[in-house]
Amino acid sequence: MDSKHAFITGGGSGIGLAIAKRLQDDGHTVTIAGRSEEPLKDSGFNYIVMDVTEEKSVDAGISSIEPVDILISNAGAAQTAPVLKTPLAMWEAMLSVNLTGAFLCAKAGIPNMVEKGWGRFIVIASTSALKGYPYTGAYTASKHGTMGLVKTLAIELAKTGVTANAVCPGFTETDLLSRSIENIVKTTSMNEEQALKALLKDNPMGRAIQPEEVAASVSWLCSADANSTNGQSIVIDGGELAS
């Protein structure tokens, strides 16, 4: 495939950074975005500072770079609480970054793809987009929402040359996982090893997903081999949903 311009939100660390490295290795030009400049600067990639929850920030950010061919909506956050004890502020924050952020990026970035007749819109969702987990109501609702967005875009864009898909990893070895483990240790009698084991109890492989494994699936979705893959949720979970 000819070199394309890939734009990755939340690209300064974790899954986003792994995707940036993989797509660069694939020969694409890469721009990453995030709210904090320091990790973006340290990454060595071209970058812009952008807040996916703010429409003006997204519009200004995407219009400031060269036209995007591949848009990876990866920026996200996870806060946990039982549904009936979830503060409204937490609920709104999860919807804002995980769902509205993907919507705003799609709205700003996809029209150029349609005009050119080729493009990829990929949301890094979660197995939480496909099943429920206790104490994650706001997060899980936001991720389920992203799948509705992806499926609708896939249908609406089907004749344009632009595809929309989601990659849904299970617990992945990132800072987000580390913070989840820390929270469990603080609120229970578990140590770190026990906390990790509890999080991975439904994963038949019994290990965390690696960011590079997620990046590999994104790489394939960006290739010509995936031209007819549209509206799909690519699950990377060690067999959790299968079990």
Which residue among the candidates 47, 133, 135, 139 is catalytic per the annotation? 139
The domain ranges of the chain are: 5-172+209-236
Indicate the range of 52-61, 63-72, 153-162, 182-191 predicted with least confidence: 182-191
- pLDDT for the residue numbered 45: 98
- pLDDT for the residue numbered 175: 85
- Mean pLDDT, the chain, integer: 96
Confidence of residue 183 (pLDDT cuts 50, 70, 90): confident
CA 14 from chain centre, in angstroms, equals 10
- State yes or no: is 139 an active-site residue: yes
Spatial distance between the Cα atoms of 227 and 54, rounded to a whole number of angstroms: 31
Model confidence pLDDT, tens digit, residues 184-212? 899 889 999 999 999 999 999 999 999 99
Model confidence pLDDT, tens digit, residues 148-166? 999 999 999 999 999 999 9
In sequence order, what are the residues at sequence separation of 6 or more whose Cβ sits closer than 8 angstroms to the Cβ of residue 168? 125, 126, 127, 129, 130, 233, 234, 235, 236, 237
Confidence of residue 1 (pLDDT cuts 50, 70, 90): low
Q: What is the percentage of the chain residues whose pLDDT exceeds 90? A: 93
Give the Å distances, CA to CA, from 237 to 15, 96, 143, 212: 14, 25, 16, 13
> 2 pLDDT exceeds 90?
no
Rounded to two decimals, what is the model's pTM?
0.95
Q: Which residues does residue 47 pair with via DSSP β-bridges, in sequence order? A: 32
Residue 103 is encoded by which pair of tokens? 């919507």
Domain 5-172+209-236 has CATH 3.40.50.720: yes
Indicate the range of 32-41, 154-163, 186-195, 219-228 predicted with least confidence: 186-195
The amino acid present at 148, given as its one-letter code, is: G
Number of other residues whose CB lies within 10 A of the CB of residue 65: 17
